Structure 1
Amino acid sequence: MPYEPPTHAVERSLRATTGAKIIAGVDEVGRGAWAGPVTVCAAVTGLRRAPAGLTDSKLITPKRRADMALELESWVTSHAIGHASPEEIDDHGMTAALRLAAERALDALPVRPDAVILDGKHDYLGKPWQVRTVIKGDISCVSVAAASVLAKVRRDAMMAELGATSEECDGFAFHDNAGYPSPVHKAALAERGPTSHHRLSWSYLDALPRWRHLKKIRIPAQAELLESEGQLGFDF
């Protein structure tokens, strides 16, 4: 599929306007899943030429994505992964969970970035980080595209291993759906109910009479109320 390759335009702009030297591209995966963590990667790439074919992870086939991730691991200046668990998502909401995962990824980098590029419209990270949000940054921005691929491959591998090694997850086909809703996943939920790896505050439980009593009720934070009213521009 033809596409415009990502560039370093945003990284160069941040360098010119803020003096930032170390810039991390940040992207997440797993926001819309019903099971498993939300995973964030922070990638520092510098201004070197990107590997051929780098783009948003969703636009790359699984085989090419895995190969690209291996290439990126040695190509990026540094990268780190952070997760927020299903329990943290249930207890604090997705906005706070994204912040937790992003902070964990950024804190795990060997050198603290001077600036961060977040994919999407909304700055879920906030102070003290200097943040630039970029809509479709995983397509247009090299560091965010790299983070997109690395996050996706890492989380998919985690979910596949979970499906293969956890007896309670047998039959959920996490190796295929990575915890996202799919026919197999929905059928397993209806028959067996959620596992300890499912998000229990989510509305899918409303459609499962046998299991809806397990749903966690949580009062949304103000940021989530604004998000639900369309006042925050989350880019799903």
Structure 2
Amino acid sequence: MKHRTDEEISAPLYAYDADIRAQYGCFAGVDEAGRGPLCGPVCVAACILDPEDPVYGINDSKKLSEKKREALFDQIVEKALAYKIVFVGPDIVDRDNILNATMGGMRQAVEGLDIVPNLVLVDGNRIPDGLTMPAQPVVKGDATSASIGAASILAKVSRDRYMLELDKQYPQYQLAKHKGYGTKLHYELIAQYGIQPFYRRSFLKKQGYWPEGK
């Protein structure tokens, strides 16, 4: 089986973007990382790619190795016409619920771009309320649009880096290993060490898990 080059991998995603750009001109892709974990922020990114200076290899961040994501992150930051990364903390998640917190983060990311896009493509099946420009949801957008794929990489790498820094402060939770997701090991460590301010209390309660006296 022939190994596909980075250019071949991202070609269909860039072709999709070219069709969108032909209709709307400048547009942004938006995606998030970290909706599911028990702790840490939801990270949201918005990105406007430069069609004249493509970043080859872009795809859904979940399909890429950590090493590949890191390399692409640096290229996207260097070559993008504009990008914005937003962290939405556990306190906002607990206050607003995860969906509203994510949508709010998406709106902040778009509004924080240095360039105002004519259209926003949002990964998933819904768009944030209150956007001042047209937006379209794209189901599996991170594997469909290069711009959304780029945003997914920015969000994923940024959140992973955040969790690695948190791991240095709280090594007992082994956050570098599970990135905050609800693994068996993670639940065992919570039971042993209790919860910290970076935990999403609403998630622990919703799943019927609340370490007594911690």
TM-score (norm 1): 0.79
**Aligned pairs (5 A) from 1:84-163:** 84-125=88-129, 127-163=131-167
Contact 2:58 2:72 in 1 (8 A): yes
The residue type paired with residue 122 of structure 2 is L
Question: Where does residue 196 of structure 1 map in the other structure?
Answer: 197
Q: SS in structure 2 opposite 1:198?
A: coil
Q: SS in structure 2 opposite 1:39?
A: strand
Contact 1:95 1:124 in 2 (8 A): no
Moved more, 1-10 or 46-55: 1-10
Between the two proteins, the alignment pairs up a number of residues equal to 208
Q: Deviations over 1:24-68 (max 9, x none)?
A: 100000001110111110000132363332111111111111111
**Aligned pairs (5 A) from 1:62-81:** 62-81=66-85
Contact 2:58 2:150 in 1 (8 A): yes
CA shift for structure 1 position 163: 1.3
Q: Are 1:173 and 2:174 counterparts?
A: yes
CA shift for structure 1 position 10: 4.3
Q: SS in structure 2 opposite 1:171?
A: helix
The residue type paired with residue 102 of structure 1 is M
Contact 1:83 1:100 in 2 (8 A): no
Q: SS in structure 2 opposite 1:133?
A: strand
Contact 2:28 2:119 in 1 (8 A): yes
C-alpha distance in structure 2 between counterparts of 1:39 and 1:128, whole Å: 21
Contact 1:83 1:104 in 2 (8 A): no
Contact 2:107 2:131 in 1 (8 A): no
The residue type paired with residue 107 of structure 1 is E
Contact 1:82 1:103 in 2 (8 A): no
Of 47, 50, 71 in structure 1, the residue corresponding to residue 51 of structure 2 is: 47
Q: Deviations over 1:92-139 (max 9, x none)?
A: 112220122112212221122221000111223454331111111101
C-alpha distance in structure 1 between counterparts of 2:44 and 2:129, whole Å: 12
TM-score (norm 2): 0.86
Question: Where does residue 233 of structure 1 map in the other structure?
Answer: none
Structure 1 runs not aligned, ≥5 long: 215-236
Q: Relative to 1, partners in 2 of residues 1:124 and 1:69: Cα closer, same or farther, differing over 3 Å?
A: same
The residue type paired with residue 135 of structure 1 is V
C-alpha distance in structure 2 between counterparts of 1:190 and 1:75, whole Å: 45
C-alpha distance in structure 1 between counterparts of 2:133 and 2:194, whole Å: 40
C-alpha distance in structure 1 between counterparts of 2:27 and 2:89, whole Å: 26
The residue type paired with residue 202 of structure 1 is F
| Fraction of identical pairs, as percent | 28
Question: Where does residue 8 of structure 1 map in the other structure?
Answer: 14
Moved more, 186-195 or 1-10: 1-10
